[in-house]
């Protein structure tokens, strides 16, 4: 079987992880890198040890016969036009989060992918983190009963020491704390609790520390979520904190609780007197090299080869994003917002 060709647009650190992931997979070959700056693309190819076409014209990359999968690793305000064009060109799609800066753009991407019938993955890459996989198995095994309260929090100070800071602080690119980073936590809440969110209420603030003064939006928010069956969730997102990276998970069920890599379960551990700790890889780093991009890439390839949809496809990721858009609207207008959005 011939290999699937991959074209990657963007030449930043996340793009580098996709180059590494697809170059290492036996079913794929990186055949094109596209960036506005040719030197950056060439430097990335050299750094990762790949030989491929180096382009500055995205439309030209889409026209290459040897490119079957397009990876979009550019700033979020570029995603809509690039994703729609890739789908219309019949390319399978990997799309970095946030998938779009507005709900109308997200809907345009969703429609284009559905119409084209291509496979897609939006990069909620933590779904392939070992801790996430363990928690999903525990929930499927009914280890803590029915989860009625979920908390997932994202704390990661994104300051001038990160290359993305320059565009992430802008309202028309980063948009909000939730969309720029905390959407990982919102997606995790959906992933673990299941069901549909029908109402959100958000408070947002700006700590105003000297390292984060250039943010054009509130970099800290706390969002309450109500599910269709009355269960509740909370997502805190803070990208102006001075602390090590923290991704907090707390799931409270009728028969026990999961707290990150700790579990308290009446049914699984009779007589338990304290937490049982599972030694595993935690989502405890903001360094993208720590995240399981190779597993995400392998998952998309399986979906293509087996002609099935991903659990993290554009249609599913739209639901997470719609909650984030609704939450930010709530924070702006100071009122609960119902879902789905009109």
Q: Which residues of 24-53 are buried (b: 16+ CB within 10 A; e: fewer)?
A: ebeebbbbbbbbeeeebbebbbeebebebb
Residue ranges per structural domain of the chain: 4-125+293-313, 127-287+320-338
**E strand or H helix at 322:** helix 314-333
The answer to whether residues 141 and 183 touch, using CB atoms and an 8 Å cutoff, is no
Tokens of residue 292, six digits: 């399981």
Give φ, ψ of 113 to 5 degrees: -65, -40
Tokens of residue 20, six digits: 């590494």
At 287 the pLDDT is: 77
Q: Which residues of 294-326 are buried (b: 16+ CB within 10 A; e: fewer)?
A: bebbbbbbebbeeeeebebbbebbbbbbbbbbb
Tokens of residue 116, six digits: 């084209």
In the sheet that 69-72 helps form, which strands lie side by side, from edge to edge? 53-55, 28-34, 4-9, 69-72, 92-95, 120-122
Instruction: Name the stretches of the chain with pLDDT < 50.
Output: none
Q: Which residue has the tokens 């299941």?
A: 194
At 268 the pLDDT is: 94
Q: What's the mean per-residue pLDDT of the chain?
A: 97
Tell me the CATH architecture of domain 4-125+293-313.
Answer: 3-Layer(aba) Sandwich (3.40)
At 31 the pLDDT is: 98
29-49 pLDDT per residue, tens: 999 999 999 999 999 999 999
Tokens of residue 94, six digits: 């990997």
Q: Among 15, 37, 340, which residue's Cα sits nearest to residue 199? A: 340
**E strand or H helix at 238:** strand 232-238
Q: Which fold has domain 127-287+320-338?
A: Dihydrodipicolinate Reductase; domain 2 (3.30.360)
Whole-angstrom distance, CA of residue 262 vs CA of residue 250? 10
The answer to whether residues 155 and 248 touch, using CB atoms and an 8 Å cutoff, is yes
For the entire predicted model, the pTM comes to 0.97
At 1 the pLDDT is: 59
At 290 the pLDDT is: 82
Furthest C-alpha separation in the chain: 64
One DSSP character per residue, 30-78 reads EEEEE-SSHHHHHHHHHHHT---EEES-HHHHHT-TT--EEEE-S-GGG
At 34 the pLDDT is: 98
At 257 the pLDDT is: 98
């Amino acid at each position: 079987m011939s290999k699937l060709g991959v074209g990657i647009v963007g030449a930043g650190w996340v793009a580098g992880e996709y180059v590494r992931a697809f170059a290492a997979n036996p079913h794929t070959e990186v055949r094109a890198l596209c960036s506005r700056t040719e030197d950056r693309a060439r430097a990335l190819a050299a750094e990762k040890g790949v030989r491929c076409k180096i382009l500055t014209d995205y439309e030209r990359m889409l026209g290459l016969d040897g490119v079957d999968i397009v990876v979009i690793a550019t700033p979020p305000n570029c995603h809509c036009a690039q994703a729609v064009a890739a789908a219309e060109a019949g390319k399978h799609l990997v799309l970095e989060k946030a998938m779009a800066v507005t709900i109308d753009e997200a809907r345009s991407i969703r429609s284009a992918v559905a119409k084209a019938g291509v496979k897609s993955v939006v990069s909620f890459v933590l779904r392939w983190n070992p801790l996430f996989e363990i928690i999903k198995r525990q929930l499927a095994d009914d280890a803590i009963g029915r989860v009625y309260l979920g908390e997932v929090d994202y704390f990661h100070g994104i300051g001038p020491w990160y290359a993305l800071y320059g565009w992430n602080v802008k309202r028309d690119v980063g948009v909000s704390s939730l969309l720029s980073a905390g959407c990982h936590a919102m997606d995790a809440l959906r992933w673990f609790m299941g069901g549909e969110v029908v109402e959100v209420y958000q408070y947002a603030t700006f700590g105003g520390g000297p390292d984060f003064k250039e943010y054009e939006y509130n970099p800290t928010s706390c969002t309450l979520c109500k599910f269709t069956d009355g269960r509740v969730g909370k997502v805190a997102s803070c990208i102006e904190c001075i602390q090590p990276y923290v991704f907090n998970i707390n799931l409270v069920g009728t028969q026990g609780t999961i707290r990150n890599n700790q579990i308290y379960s009446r049914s699984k551990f009779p007589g338990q007197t304290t937490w049982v700790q599972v030694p595993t890889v935690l989502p405890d780093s903001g360094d993208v090299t720590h995240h399981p991009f190779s597993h995400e890439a392998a998952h998309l390839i399986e979906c293509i080869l087996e002609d099935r949809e991903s659990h993290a496809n554009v249609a599913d990721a739209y639901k997470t994003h719609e909650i984030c858009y609704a939450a930010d609207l709530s924070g702006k207008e100071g009122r609960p917002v119902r879902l789905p959005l009109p």
